[in-house]
């Protein structure tokens, strides 16, 4: 379910490659952020984003004023740099640790 409805569906003929359709159109794709919109986000600086993209954890102390307020401490957090989704993280042992990087 999530944010997608039947109205968002694409006819298979539009994405199957054939003589009339040699390339799938990028306009058919939704941004990753659409599928992850219900996951709380934390904004990262450029330096923090680089660290996270290299698999490094970020101290929660550095993120205190930017962390979303959520009840479930084990819930995933969507890491963002500007409008770009970097991946999903978890808060663990005083750090924001990458779980899935995009």
pTM: 0.77
CA-CA distance, 71 to 12, in Å (whole number)? Answer: 40
- Burial of 66 from C-beta contacts in 10 A (0-12 / 13-18 / 19+): middle
Give yes or no for a contact between 68 and 77, defined as CB atoms under 8 angstroms apart.
yes
In degrees, to the nearest 5, what angle opens at C-alpha 26 toward C-alphas 15 and 8? 65
Q: What is the pLDDT of residues 65-97, one digit of tens each?
A: 998 888 888 899 999 999 999 999 999 999 999
Q: Which CATH number fits domain 31-101: 3.40.30.10, 2.30.130.10, 3.40.190.150, 1.20.1370.20?
A: 2.30.130.10
Per residue in 10-36, pLDDT tens?
Answer: 777 776 667 776 676 667 777 888 888
Check residues 31 and 60 and name the one with the higher pLDDT.
60
> What residues pair up with 78 in beta bridges, in sequence order?
41, 88
Residue 76 CA to residue 72 CA, distance in Å, equals 9
């Amino acid at each position: 379910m999530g944010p997608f409805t039947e109205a968002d569906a694409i006819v298979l003929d539009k994405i199957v490659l054939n003589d009339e359709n040699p390339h799938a159109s990028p306009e058919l794709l939704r941004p990753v952020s659409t599928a992850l919109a219900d996951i709380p986000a934390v904004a990262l600086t450029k330096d923090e984003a680089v660290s996270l993209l290299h698999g490094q954890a970020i101290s929660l102390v550095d993120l205190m004023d930017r962390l979303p307020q959520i009840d479930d401490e084990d819930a995933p957090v969507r890491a963002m740099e500007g409008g770009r989704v970097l991946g999903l993280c978890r808060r663990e042992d005083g750090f924001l640790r990458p779980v899935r990087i995009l």
